[in-house]
Amino acid sequence: MYDKGKIVPGLIIFVGLMLFAIFNNAGQKPQPPKLEKPEGYKECVLPVEEMKQSHMVLLNEWRDEVIREGKREQVKVGGKMFDKSLQRGCMHCHTSKKKFCDVCHEFASVYPYCWDCHIAPQRDMADQEAK
Amino acid sequence: MRVLYPFVAVLALILVAFLGGKVTGLQYMLGVVLPYLAFGVFIVGFCNRVMQWSKSPVPFRIPTTCGQGKSLPWIKQDRLDCPNNKLEVVGRMILEIFAFRSLFRNTRAEVHDGPKLVYGSSKSLWLFAILFHYAFLVIVLRHLRLFTEPIPFFVPLLEMGDGMMQMGVPRLYATDIVFLAAIAFLFLRRVSLRHIRYISLPADYFPLILIFAIGVTGLLMRYYYRVDITAIKQLTAGLASFSPILPAGIHPIFFIHVTLVCVLMAYFPFSKLMHLGGVFLSPTRNMSNNSRSVRHINPWNDPAIKPHSYAAYEDEFREFMKDAEIPVEKE
């Protein structure tokens, strides 16, 4: 074998990089996020499976309908009427962004930019002040 | 034919994975067993291939010299294109690996009326190759979000930069588009240019078609079917911590994507894709052009055989040479 001094360290670096995720996770078992489900409500806007996968699409549709088409009429969820709105709709039931949206998003490394403008529910602020 | 076979092979793989993804027992095969196997083949095969290469001696200095070599002090040396020492070689290699300098030098030959042969610069291959490779790198690094828990800091940064255009939800990543466009170009270049098509083999088309299919299934998964990422991450991060859980109800498109990626990994060490390791070991780039200043000794020379100068040779054979009327230097 020629150039051992360069090839062997090179291969070790390569294997090390490839196994990065294994070293990174060592000693941990990934736990699915524990979400705080809304109290007193049984249903979400759409069936849960659909919400899990497509809530961002629903939000986008709502936004387009409300802002571009001016369709602000409310939606019916579980017999009650709710605003078609991120802050006054979703967050009306999901009272904490930190304990619901963020838990899941951090697990999936998703950082929606919506909150640059939209305000997180008051409960998060209260929780933070109480700490 | 040479395009058709790889194309049919990829279609067959997709079909197998699609059917397998529907059967619970096979889901475990495709989602857990196959990834471990393919990854093992990839790592072991890769190292094995490099070790095999390392057994080939390179007894001569064979760098491609693309500029003025080191000479008299008043002649300017082209330090990157004709490196004379280790530092210059490192500079050359870094540019080769990160900027694909050899491809940048790609030319195109055309025959005009006359007949006249004309060479022109051709940068499109370089442009699309470099776009493709960097997009691929970013995509692979972004996938770490599915395999790592805790997620390393650079993954959200990459996602932020990549999704900077803030188009649509889930946010459109620029690399996704660049990746597909670049690989489509590389494929079309092979089929549409006559002389490139002539030298293209199934082994050239297969990786292109396979990688294109991986890209398309990935995009479908993210933007169209929108598979449940929290469920999938339990499987993928589980794979990396050796405790994979296979949640129920994963969409078959996920198994297609994973199967194609596994095939790519397992195929890698046996294919031209090994240029990932090969670029570091290319003697025409990683050697310094210093054979005029350093004596290089052939590594398999028998040490018992000593150098034999002409003077010594003449001493040994002078009488015979004189007999044969061969001129000698010393009488």
B142-155 per-position pLDDT tens digit = 999 999 989 999 99
CA A25 to chain centre: 21
Q: What is the pLDDT at residue B114?
A: 85
**Spatial separation of the C-alpha atoms in residues B266 and B34, rounded to whole Å:** 10
Q: Is the pLDDT of residue B24 over 80?
A: no
Report the DSSP beta bridge partners of residue B111: B117
Per-residue model confidence as pLDDT tens digits over B84-115: 999 999 999 999 999 999 999 998 888 888 88
- Find chain A residues with C-beta within 8 A of B46's C-beta: 14
Q: Is the pLDDT of residue B299 over 80?
A: no
Q: What is the pLDDT at residue A126?
A: 81
Per-residue model confidence as pLDDT tens digits over B244-279: 989 888 899 999 999 999 999 999 999 999 999 999
A35 in a structural domain? no
Q: What is the pLDDT at residue A116?
A: 93
Nearest to A96 by CA among A69, A50, A128: A128
Q: What is the pLDDT at residue B61?
A: 87
Which residue's entry shows tokens 């996020």?
A33
Q: Give chain B's mean pLDDT.
A: 93
Which regions of chain A does DSSP assign to beta strands (E)?
Answer: 75-77, 80-82
A124 in a structural domain? no
**Which residue range is the domain that position A108 belongs to?**
48-118
Least confident of A23-27, B41-45, B216-220, B265-269: A23-27
Using the CB atoms, write b or e for A34-50: b if 16+ within 10 Å. Answer: eeeebeeeeebbeeeee
Higher pLDDT, B330 or A106: A106
Minimum-distance CB partner of B57 among A2, A30, A59? A2
User: What band does B314 get if pLDDT is binned at 50, 70 and 90?
Assistant: very high
Q: What is the pLDDT at residue A118?
A: 94
Distance from CA of B227 to the nearest CA of A (A): 6
Report the predicted TM-score, pTM, of the whole model to 2 decimal places: 0.92
- Find chain A residues with C-beta within 8 A of B165's C-beta: none
Q: What is the pLDDT at residue B117?
A: 92
A59 in a structural domain? yes
DSSP run (H or E) holding B25: helix B24-28
**Spatial separation of the C-alpha atoms in residues B172 and B166, rounded to whole Å:** 7
Q: Is the pLDDT of residue B302 over 80?
A: yes
- Other CB atoms within a 10 A radius of the CB of residue B1 amount to 5
Report the DSSP beta bridge partners of residue B195: none
Q: What is the pLDDT at residue B57?
A: 83
Q: What is the pLDDT at residue B109?
A: 85
Three-state DSSP class for residue B111: strand
Q: Is the pLDDT of residue A131 over 80?
A: no
Nearest to A94 by CA among A25, A36, A12, A43: A36
A8 in a structural domain? no
Contact across the interface for B43 and A3, Cβ inside 8 Å: no
> Considering its fold, how many domains does chain A have in total?
1
Would you call B230 exposed, middle or buried from its count of C-beta atoms within 10 A (0-12, 13-18, 19+)?
Answer: middle
Structural domains of chain B ordered from first start: 4-300 (1.20.950.20), 301-331 (no CATH)
Per-residue model confidence as pLDDT tens digits over A29-75: 888 899 999 988 999 999 999 999 999 999 999 999 999 999 999 99
Chain B residues with CB under 8 Å of a chain A CB are: 42-43, 46-47, 50-51, 54-58, 144-145, 147-152, 155-156, 159-160, 166, 168-170, 226-230, 233-234, 237-238, 240-243, 249, 277, 280-281, 299
**Spatial separation of the C-alpha atoms in residues B201 and A51, rounded to whole Å:** 47
Chain B residue with CA closest to A53: the answer is B228
Would you call B66 exposed, middle or buried from its count of C-beta atoms within 10 A (0-12, 13-18, 19+)?
Answer: middle
Q: Is the pLDDT of residue B187 over 80?
A: yes
A77 in a structural domain? yes
Contact across the interface for A7 and B281, Cβ inside 8 Å: yes
Its sign, for the CA torsion B79, B85, B86, B89, is positive
Q: Is the pLDDT of residue B12 over 90?
A: yes
Per-residue model confidence as pLDDT tens digits over B55-80: 988 878 899 999 999 999 999 999 99
Nearest to B130 by CA among B183, B208, B202, B61: B183
Chain A residues with CB under 8 Å of a chain B CB are: 1-4, 7, 10-11, 14-15, 18, 20-22, 24-26, 28-30, 32-33, 49, 52-54, 56-57, 59-60, 104, 106-111, 113
Of all residues in chain B, the percent with pLDDT exceeding 70 is: 100
Per-residue model confidence as pLDDT tens digits over B32-53: 999 999 999 999 999 999 999 9
Contact across the interface for B241 and A22, Cβ inside 8 Å: yes
Four-point Cα dihedral B144, B37, B227, B7, nearest 10:
110
A4 in a structural domain? no
**Spatial separation of the C-alpha atoms in residues B99 and B78, rounded to whole Å:** 18
